[in-house]
Amino acid sequence: MSSVKRALISVSDKTGVVEFARQLADMGVEIISTGGTAKALKDASISVIAIDDVTGFPEMMNGRVKTLHPKIHGGLLALRDNAEHVKAMTDNDIKPIDLVCVNLYPFEQTVAKPDCSFDDAIENIDIGGPSMVRSAAKNYKFVAIVTSPDQYNKVIDEIKANNGAVTESTKKELGRKAFSLTASYDSAISNWLAGQADDRYPEKKTISMVRSTSLRYGENPHQNAAFYRLARNSGEPCVANATQLPGGKQISFNNLMDTNAAFELVKEFDKPAAVIVKHMNPCGCAIDDDIVEAYRKAYISDVTSAFGGLLAFNRPVTAELADAICECYGRWGKPLGAAGFFAEVIIAPAFDPEAVEIIRTRKRWGQEDVRLLATGPISREAIDANEYDVRCIAGGILLQDRDLIGWEADQIKCMTKRQPTAQELSDMQLAWVVAKHVKSNTIVLAKDNAAVGVGAGQMNRVDSGMLAIRQAGDKAAGAAMASDAFFPFPDNVTQAAKAGIKAIVQPGGSKNDQMSIDECDKYDIAMVFTGKRHFKH
């Protein structure tokens, strides 16, 4: 291992760089630097060689050209065990550079500013930085490439422990991370430029992600898995941006999938809302002026499925709500007793400290291991409409816009002789929004602002309706029905009429729409069309 004798430091993010450079200098490392970094180091009384003293050329063109020079890249790319390379260095007065510390112009932070101009964005595309990073990373056997302040301590510790050298295994790992950095950086630039050209689906598309955590396993124990966040973070309140409160088990692959399904549904509502999800489908959903009552209505609609599910709220969890969660009522409103109620995750904008204490310590609840996720306040304006909905198939990925359409009151058309009542319209709205988040084919029943029956993922819509009606039981009478897609035949209406359902919402668009409308009129059922469907495969 060769020791680090010469380092080049040029960073945009100057966090910790002065101390890093000071420790290198104290170990006798010669430091080359550029522009603002050189000034920061000189101001800290650290000896620095200016880049133009190395190249013989001044920094020029407003800093666009300073490190793009053979005396820099020759010093980075030369193979020290190759006689021809060594001779070329000698003949051209090129000195080797053993360590490079570079981080890049803040392109993503720049374009995220609302007042960022096109010219400002272009000027924040780093050229020299990525070039040095790639040169050093390619020649990792001889050059250590440091691209983040969180790598400083490890590199310093290695140099101290190895007679002034960084081990080859560490240099290889730093090189790998460096190429990941430049790939992500180029992806951000490419995607932004495509957006400027209004080309949302260009011929080549890269989605950059950062690993958040490794998971114990995937959907099943024999599958390895990890959780990645999008490198471009819009700040949307969501599962990916949530903070897990101290305590509780590590969140799992299936937890993340189910919690996302629950929270994306609860975000749809302005009124206090509670959602319970099991295996990616909502088994309980209700709204109320009181979040505690919303939860009780959501829970009692399907107690059996709720056990072991995920709870989502669009209001903070208070002590009163925590008490309600811990009441552990069974299917018929009777206490479950020692068996208690079990939930994998609770997600909400925030948790009162007293609520956390209740959830963690209540004996009958027994949920010291429950994962509690806090997202911060929910804002419809913060939802990222530019984010993709990504689906994977063998050998490829499907990208589409997120389905962010909910209840569009101005688009609703009543197609039947009878108009829906105000309560029926409210129940139709809830059923329609829930249906959007249920696997197709979907039928959802709602009554008194709570989902009372969910039929999910059946191969035909009639079977979905049958499941929803069976789950609702007596509550089907007077309920509203929502279908995520149109009725190809009136059989769902006939089935609904037999159960006493009084209102139906569906997209419309079938060539047999009139048959369904006539069937509704026959049974005095109000039916409205939304004009849009919500398939969820």
Q: Tens digits of per-residue pLDDT, 16-42?
A: 999 999 999 999 999 999 888 999 999
Tell me, yes or no, whether 178 and 36 share the same domain: yes
Tell me, yes or no, whether 441 and 345 share the same domain: no
pLDDT of 58: 76
- 169-178, 328-337, 401-410: which has the minimum mean pLDDT? 328-337
pLDDT class for 337, splitting at 50, 70, 90? Answer: very low
Tell me, yes or no, whether 159 and 41 share the same domain: yes
- 47-56, 78-87, 474-483: which has the minimum mean pLDDT? 47-56
Find the radius of gyration of the CA atoms of the chain. 30
pLDDT of 2: 82
Q: Reply yes or no on whether the pLDDT at 417 is more than 70.
A: yes
Mean pLDDT score, 231-253: 91
Residue 522 makes CB contacts below 8 A (sequence gap 6+) with 497
Cα(422)–Cα(89) distance, integer angstroms: 83
Q: Does residue 527 or residue 68 have the better pLDDT?
A: 527
DSSP letter, residue 148: S
Tell me, yes or no, whether 251 and 187 share the same domain: no
Q: CA triplet 432, 435, 436: central angle to 5 degrees?
A: 90
**Mean pLDDT rounded to a whole number for the chain:** 92
Tell me, yes or no, whether 177 and 39 share the same domain: yes
Mean pLDDT score, 392-405: 94
Q: Tens digits of per-residue pLDDT, 179-221?
A: 999 999 999 999 999 989 989 999 988 888 999 999 999 999 9
Cα(309)–Cα(324) distance, integer angstroms: 16
> In terms of DSSP bridges, do strands 225-230 and 209-215 run parallel, antiparallel, or are they unpaired?
antiparallel
pLDDT class for 95, splitting at 50, 70, 90? Answer: very high
39 assigned to some structural domain: yes
Q: Reply yes or no on whether the pLDDT at 291 is more than 50.
A: yes
Cα(291)–Cα(444) distance, integer angstroms: 22
Query: For the whole model, what pTM was predicted?
Result: 0.88
205 assigned to some structural domain: no
pLDDT of 201: 92
319 assigned to some structural domain: yes
User: CB count, 10 Å around CB of 276?
Assistant: 27
Q: Tens digits of per-residue pLDDT, 106-120?
A: 888 888 888 999 998
Cα(339)–Cα(179) distance, integer angstroms: 53
Q: Coil, strand or helix: which one is 227?
A: strand
Tell me, yes or no, whether 84 and 166 share the same domain: yes
Tell me, yes or no, whether 75 and 150 share the same domain: yes
pLDDT of 330: 47
> Which of 377, 393, 426 marks a domain boundary?
377
Tell me, yes or no, whether 317 and 359 share the same domain: yes
> In terms of DSSP bridges, do strands 480-483 and 309-313 run parallel, antiparallel, or are they unpaired?
unpaired
| Domain count for the chain | 3
CATH number, residue 184: 3.40.50.1380
- Give the side-chain half-sphere CA count within 13 A for 158: 20
pLDDT of 89: 87
CATH number, residue 432: 3.40.140.20
pLDDT of 331: 45
Tell me whether residue 386 is exposed, middle or buried, using C-beta atoms within 10 angstroms of its C-beta: 0 to 12, 13 to 18, 19 or more: exposed
Shortest CA distance to 367 belongs to which of 243, 262, 215, 249? 249
Tokens for 443, please give them: 């039928």
512 assigned to some structural domain: yes
pLDDT of 340: 57
210 within 8 A of 228, measured Cβ to Cβ: yes
> Which of 377, 393, 424 marks a domain boundary?
377
Tell me, yes or no, whether 351 and 458 share the same domain: no
DSSP letter, residue 380: G
235 assigned to some structural domain: no
Q: Tens digits of per-residue pLDDT, 305-315?
A: 998 899 999 99
514 assigned to some structural domain: yes
Cα(502)–Cα(522) distance, integer angstroms: 12
pLDDT of 501: 98
Mean pLDDT score, 263-271: 97
Q: Find tokens 């020791």 and name the residue.
A: 3
Tell me, yes or no, whether 267 and 141 share the same domain: no
334 assigned to some structural domain: yes
Note down the domain range covering 172: 6-196
- Give the side-chain half-sphere CA count within 13 A for 393: 5
pLDDT of 215: 96
**Phi, psi dihedral angles at 290 (to 5 degrees):** -115, 120
> Which of 377, 399, 425 marks a domain boundary?
377
436 within 8 A of 426, measured Cβ to Cβ: no
Q: Which helix (DSSP H) or strand (DSSP E) does residue 151 occupy?
A: none
Tell me, yes or no, whether 355 and 414 share the same domain: no
> Which are the catalytic amino acids?
138, 279
405 assigned to some structural domain: no
pLDDT class for 97, splitting at 50, 70, 90? Answer: very high
pLDDT of 241: 95
Shortest CA distance to 483 belongs to which of 498, 501, 500, 474? 501
Q: Reply yes or no on whether the pLDDT at 338 is more than 50.
A: no
146 within 8 A of 155, measured Cβ to Cβ: yes
359 within 8 A of 367, measured Cβ to Cβ: yes
Beta bridge partners of 102: 10
Mean pLDDT score, 387-397: 93
Tell me, yes or no, whether 180 and 298 share the same domain: no
Q: Tens digits of per-residue pLDDT, 142-182?
A: 999 999 999 999 999 999 999 999 999 999 999 999 999 99
